[in-house]
Structure 1
C-alpha cells in the first residue's frame, strides 16, 4: 500500500487548513489524491479527516504498531494513536 511515498501508519504533518502544523497518522489511502488521517485528539478515529496528499508533509517515520493493527483489522482507540505519536516523536 504505497502511493507517492505514503503508507498506512506513516506520520504526516498538515501544511494547510485549520489543522496546519499538526501531526497525524495515515489510516487509509483512498486514491491518488486523498488519504484519511487521524491523530486521536483533534481528529478522532470515528471521524477521520479526508485530506489531499499535496497538503501533507510526509515523514519517513512509520509506526509498525499502527500499521499492523490497521492492516490486520485489529481494534485501536484514540488513546493508542495519541501515545504512538508521542512515543515516535516527543519533540512535536
Structure 2
C-alpha cells in the first residue's frame, strides 16, 4: 500500500478492463483499491481491484485528489476530463 495516493493514475493489467486507465478513488486495505474512470466504472459504483492487477503511474490527477481528500462531490465528467487532459482516454 506504500506510495498509493487518492487521485493516482493506474491501468489494469488483468481482467475484462485490461489496458484501461483509471483513477484511484479509494483505498480499501493493503490488497485492494477502488478505481473509476467515469465511463466503464462510474464514481457511484467504483471497481474494487486487487493492487497486484494494477500498474501504478507517477501521475496524479491533482483536482480529483484534492476533492477526494476534502470529501467534495466528484462527477463522472470530472474523472473523464482528468484522464482526457492527460491523453489517457
Q: Is the 8 A contact 2:21 2:88 kept in 1?
A: no
Normalising by structure 2, we get a TM-score of 0.95
Query: 2:44 pairs with 43, 46, 70, which one?
Result: 46
Residues in 2 aligned to 1:41 and 1:26: alpha-carbon distance in whole angstroms:
14
Unpaired runs of 5+ residues, structure 1, are none
Residues in 2 aligned to 1:91 and 1:61: alpha-carbon distance in whole angstroms:
11
Deviations for 1:46-71, whole angstroms, at most 9, x for unmatched residues?
A: 11000000000010001110000011
Q: What is the RMSD computed on CA atoms of the aligned residues?
A: 1.0
Q: How many residue pairs align between the two structures?
A: 89
Unpaired runs of 5+ residues, structure 2, are none
Normalising by structure 1, we get a TM-score of 0.92
The residue number in structure 1 matching 2:8 is 10
Please identify runs of 4+ aligned residues in structure 1 that moved more than 4 A: none
SS in 2 for 1:51: strand
> 1:91: how far off?
5.2
User: Residue 60 in 1 paired to residue 58 in 2?
Assistant: yes
